[in-house]
């Protein structure tokens, strides 16, 4: 019987796949020669809440202190006499309505000047954009006191040279105390930088040449393109421009005071010397009114609206073209 010799063990490496590891690998460990990224833990939201709390306290604590000053009378307790007397104060309603009217006129005039110019530059002459930007930003360089000095010089020069011309009545009409158009012109100049920045950001976010070309290729007129195609896409930018202009007009004091007019901000300062408690009550009320108007403008800018890039080929649209 032949002797049975044992066969030698194979020295070749085992190429079979190892059993899968069902356990999670620790952070920074290697799996099959590859390093796993460290596990990112969610950041705590404590600091975010603390920052928001401090910002809210920074804005609300002075308002609460002002409100307490208006309603707390030493020796008498809580009294709302400052607010009840405010509604019947001489000049309150007139000055508030004047400021609101000036704000509305300034918003309309600034948008009528800025929107067509920026759209035209965006579509037809992109090289003129730096020129328009510099012109719109100039009011930030010129201080309001210098601007009102120039306006005063022109107003004094007018009667001497225009008294025998038809422009004299127009010159007097722009200085009417019931509605001073000269303030609207001055406020429009001051608001141009803010209106430009808001509209420029909106136009950059919209592909204006493509929308205009698509609408024009469908037979739309330029009026239809601007009113029904571009303006709905610029709703948020228009609301932002109106937002900033309204805040500027309601809080402006220097130009109106030096020109001798009495809008809401000037009226508040005029009564502050004789009625301190009432003047603080007016300031609190003006802040609430301003915030309410700004919220309405913000709501108008974010409300959903149907935006059409091209008109339909209906008989109505063909007539408009």
In eight-state DSSP terms, residue 230 is I
- Burial letters for 180-202: b for 16+ Cβ neighbours within 10 Å, e otherwise? bebbbebbbbbbbbbbbbbbbeb
Per mean pLDDT, which of 47-61, 106-120, 168-182 is the most reliable?
106-120
CA distance 7 to 289: 99
CA distance 238 to 115: 9
User: Mind listing the pLDDT tens digit for each residue in 240-275?
Assistant: 898 889 889 988 888 999 988 989 888 888 877 667
Q: What is the pTM of this model?
A: 0.71
Q: pLDDT confidence of 63, banded at 50, 70, 90?
A: confident
3-state secondary structure 262-275: CCHHHHHHHHHCCC
Predicted local distance difference test score (pLDDT) of residue 44: 60
Predicted local distance difference test score (pLDDT) of residue 313: 42
Is residue 168 a contact partner of residue 155, using CB atoms and an 8 Å limit?
Answer: no
CA distance 180 to 252: 14
pLDDT at 171 over 60: yes
State the burial class of residue 40 (Cβ atoms within 10 Å of its Cβ: 0-12, 13-18, 19+).
Answer: exposed
pLDDT at 276 over 90: no
State the burial class of residue 15 (Cβ atoms within 10 Å of its Cβ: 0-12, 13-18, 19+).
Answer: exposed
| Tokens encoding 192 | 């141009």
HSE (side-chain half, CA atoms, 13 Å) at 150: 8
Cα 114 to its chain centre, rounded Å, is: 15
Percent of the chain at pLDDT > 90 equals 13
| Alpha-helix runs per DSSP H in 28-143 | 46-71, 81-87, 92-123, 129-141
Q: Which of 292, 278, 296, 308 is nearest to 79 (CA)?
A: 278
CA distance 156 to 152: 6
User: Mind listing the pLDDT tens digit for each residue in 172-226?
Assistant: 888 888 899 999 999 999 999 999 999 988 888 888 888 888 888 888 888 888 8
């Amino acid at each position: 019987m032949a002797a049975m010799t044992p066969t030698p063990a194979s020295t070749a490496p085992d190429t079979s796949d190892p059993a899968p590891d069902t356990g999670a690998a620790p952070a920074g460990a290697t799996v099959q020669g590859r390093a796993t990224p460290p596990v990112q833990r969610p950041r705590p939201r404590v600091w975010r809440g603390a920052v928001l709390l401090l910002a809210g306290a920074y804005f609300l604590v002075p308002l609460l202190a002002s409100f307490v000053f208006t309603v707390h009378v030493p020796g008498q307790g809580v009294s709302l006499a400052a607010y009840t007397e405010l509604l019947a104060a001489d000049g309150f309603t007139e000055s508030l309505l004047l400021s609101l009217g000036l704000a509305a006129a300034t918003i309309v005039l600034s948008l009528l000047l800025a929107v067509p110019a920026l759209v035209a530059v965006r579509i037809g002459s992109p090289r003129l954009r730096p020129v328009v930007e510099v012109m719109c930003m100039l009011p930030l360089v010129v201080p309001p006191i210098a601007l009102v000095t120039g306006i005063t010089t022109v107003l004094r020069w007018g009667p001497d040279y225009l008294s025998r011309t038809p422009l004299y009545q127009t010159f007097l009409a722009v200085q009417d105390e019931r509605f001073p158009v000269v303030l609207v012109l001055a406020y429009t100049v001051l608001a141009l930088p803010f209106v430009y920045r808001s509209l420029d950001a909106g136009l950059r976010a919209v592909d204006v040449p493509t929308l205009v070309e698509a609408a024009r290729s469908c037979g739309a007129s330029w009026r239809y393109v601007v009113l029904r195609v571009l303006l709905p896409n610029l709703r948020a930018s228009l609301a932002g421009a109106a937002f900033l202009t309204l805040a500027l007009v309601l809080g402006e004091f220097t130009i109106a005071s030096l020109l001798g007019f009495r809008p809401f901000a000037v009226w508040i300062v005029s009564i502050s010397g004789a009625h301190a408690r009432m003047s603080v009550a007016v300031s609190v009320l003006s802040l609430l009114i301003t915030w309410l108007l700004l919220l309405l403008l913000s709501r108008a800018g974010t409300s959903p609206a149907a935006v059409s890039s091209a008109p339909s080929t209906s008989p109505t649209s063909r007539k408009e073209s």
